[in-house]
Amino acid sequence: RPRVLSGIQPTADSFHLGNYLGAVRQWVALQDDHDAFYFVPDLHAITVEHDPATLADRTRNGVAQLLALGLDPDRCTVFVQSHVPEHSQLGWILGCLTGFGEASRMTQFKDKAAKQGSDRATVGLFTYPILQAADILLYHADRVPVGEDQRQHVELTRDLAQRFNSRFGKVLTVPEPHILAGTAKIYDLQDPTAKMSKSSSTPAGIVNLLDDPKVSAKKIRSAVTDAEREIRYDVAAKPGIANLLTIHSSFSGRTIPELEADYAGRGYGDLKKDLAEIVADFTAPLAKRVQAYMDDPAELDRVLARGATRARDVAGATLAAVHDKIGFLPPT
Ligand code: TYM
């Protein structure tokens, strides 16, 4: 069975619609016919300033959300990144294969560093994509299901794997990004030319999975659209409406042309009202399921302990092979 691996950062109290439609929904689907590894990258979460107690809560809550969204620990491996020390270890080695200029070209780093100011951006933020490459390569992932914003990091991962293999001998699997054309980029409701983002969207621009449906309905009603009246999918001219149609289509299963026909002659208010209901149907039962996992910390710990053991088996073997190839003396 082909192997997939992906991760989602615990940097907010709730995942949002972009995370779900761009990534986690695919993770759930892929666990059926893939050997799947999914994790919460807490090491990545400390590349920006953080509060320790909040991080621990969000990490637990992140795992609970993944389970509530449909990851099944009997069919996939769910773990927390810091439970598997091999990630940092391979990250160091890959850092020694990455050019400074190459790392400097990562657009997500440039964006985040610009936002924080160069004095406050950390070296960890700079090396973040290299750690992500380690995450992927430790597990010999064939495919990495992510949103469009992660494409460049998967490209770097491919380059590093090829470089390692050609210098030291073939050990690492070169992964393919698994990015779904329709939902790879869900946009901010208030700024439909920017992606919906845990770190940079305003609260009104994000539909959180754990928001009260009334709050989400209000955000959807207030979504920025355009001065026309026609409900038509046109990303360049009508990015707000295009985004609402994308979200509608991915939950309702109706194609975009079907939706355009359904809404012919109807107003933006109708589309928004229907969409709020569709989203509420999905999110309303979710909060309860997340809470049930949060109320049973012992069960969550068991899931994570099992996940860490399985992950370390694979990661440890890869790291040992890497050490051997690069000439580290085996421990005696
Ligand atoms: P993160 O935590 O920012 O996002 C988790 C996943 O959600 C996707 N995503 C989106 N998809 C569509 N539209 C959006 N508006 C949107 N916003 C986010 C992201 O593309 C991602 O797939 N660096 C990663 C975490 C990571 C990782 C890894 C991923 C660490 N190691 C190894 C894959 C493999 C990140 O920050 O994702």
What's the pLDDT score for residue 119?
83
pLDDT category, 31, cuts 50, 70, 90? Answer: very high
Separation of CA 331 and ligand 1 centre (Å):
36
| 115 in catalytic set | no
Q: What's the pTM value of the predicted model, to 2 decimals? A: 0.97
Residue pLDDT, tens place only, 51-96: 999 999 999 999 999 999 999 999 999 999 999 999 999 999 999 9
pLDDT higher than 80, residue 19: yes
Name all residues whose Cβ lies below 6 A of ligand 1.
Answer: 5-9, 18-19, 22-23, 41, 44, 132, 135-136, 144, 146-147, 149-150, 184-186, 195-197
Report CA(326)–ligand 1 centroid distance (Å).
31
SS3 4: strand
Residue 173's pLDDT is: 98
| Residue 100: CA count within 13 A, CB half-sphere | 1
Q: Whose CA is nearest to atom 26 of ligand 1?
A: 7
Look at residue 314 in the predicted model and tell me its pLDDT. 98
- What is the rounded CA–CA span in Å between residue 159 and residue 50? 31
For 306, other C-beta atoms within 10 Å of its C-beta total 15
Active-site pick, 110, 115, 170, 198: 198
In this predicted structure, the answer to whether residue 6 has a pLDDT above a threshold of 90 is yes
pLDDT of 322 reads 98
For residue 132, how many other CB atoms are within 10 A of its CB?
26
- Residue 220 structure tokens: 């959807």
The percentage of the chain sitting over the pLDDT mark of 70, rounded to a whole number, equals 100
Nearest to 8 by CA among 53, 49, 50, 61: 61
Residue 117 is predicted with a pLDDT of 82
How many CB atoms lie under 10 A from the CB of residue 278? 17
> Beta 143-145 vs 176-178: how paired, if at all?
parallel
Furthest C-alpha separation in the chain? 76
Q: Is the pLDDT of residue 98 over 80?
A: yes
* Residue 85 tokens, joined: 């020390």
**Strand, helix or coil for residue 50:** coil
Nearest CA residue ID for atom 4, ligand 1: 8
* pLDDT of amino acid 120: 87
How are beta strands 76-80 and 143-145 bridged, if at all? unpaired
Tracing tokens 């996992």 back to the chain, one arrives at 293
Q: Rounded to an integer, what distance in angstroms lies between the CA atom of residue 108 and that of residue 103?
A: 11
| Per-residue pLDDT at 165 | 98
